[in-house]
Amino acid sequence: MNKNQLLALVIAAANVAIMLLFPPFDTYSIAAAKFPVFGGFDFYFRLAPGAVVNSAMLSLEIFVVLINAGIVWLLLGAKKAAGARRRLSLQNATLIVVAINLVVILLFPPFESVFAVTRAALPTFEGFYFIFARQSHHVLVTTILYLEVFFVVINGAIFWLMFRARDQERLTPEQALKLMQELRKSGG
């Protein structure tokens, strides 16, 4: 593990600690005590009465941070030769795109209206809203959120495997001997 990977682990641990200290929470209104309404983020030890930590959203946030930490770990792990110029490979670009997608998915999760939930047999979907601009009387649709994260991760893994570097053709012993002789003649 190099120092950049260690720094990535420290940053990921700090992010998880902050998420645990300021978790997402739901509130139960007096009128509809059956359905929690997304209440935003607050300090864990100062949650209001009637507020409950939204554990599904919190676990998804932690999952995304850990995936992004793994992506950074992979990106920082491969060292190139000192003289070689580092270029962005398709695998690394895939990892970066997956990380950006996961962050955007968490910043704009799917919401539905509490009023639609109480009247409908099937859950409704109202749209994607910025997570820090709390919409009154809205509930996170965690099933759609989980599906989004799942598909982004699976598709990213498939593309990452598709773009892996192909093994170079192996030389036969005769070809290796010929190559060494040519290099010896040209080098000295």
pLDDT for the residue numbered 158? 86
pLDDT for the residue numbered 83? 47
Residue 50: what residue type?
G
Residue 111: what residue type?
F
Cα atoms in the Cβ-side hemisphere of radius 13 Å centred on 3: 0
Range of the structural domain that residue 143 is part of: 3-187
- 87 in Cβ contact with 75 (< 8 Å): no
Neighbours of 140 (CB within 10 A): 22
Distance between the two ends of the chain, CA-based, in angstroms? Answer: 39
> Which of 18, 30, 42, 20 is closest to 134 using CA atoms?
42
Domain count, the chain: 1
pLDDT of the chain, 188 residues: tens digit per residue: 888 889 889 999 999 999 999 999 888 766 656 677 788 888 999 988 878 898 988 998 999 899 988 888 888 876 654 445 557 788 888 989 999 999 999 999 988 877 666 555 555 677 888 888 877 777 788 888 888 999 999 988 888 888 877 666 777 888 888 888 888 888 75
Q: Cβ neighbours of residue 88 under 8 Å, at least 6 residues apart?
A: none
- 23 in Cβ contact with 54 (< 8 Å): yes
Residue/partner pairs of 146-150 with CB below 8 Å, 24 or more apart:
146/56, 146/60, 148/105, 148/110, 149/60, 149/63, 149/64, 149/102, 149/105
> Which of 7, 46, 2, 1 is closest to 25 using CA atoms?
46
Cα–Cα dist 160/158, whole Å: 5
How many angstroms from the chain centroid is the CA of residue 14? 16
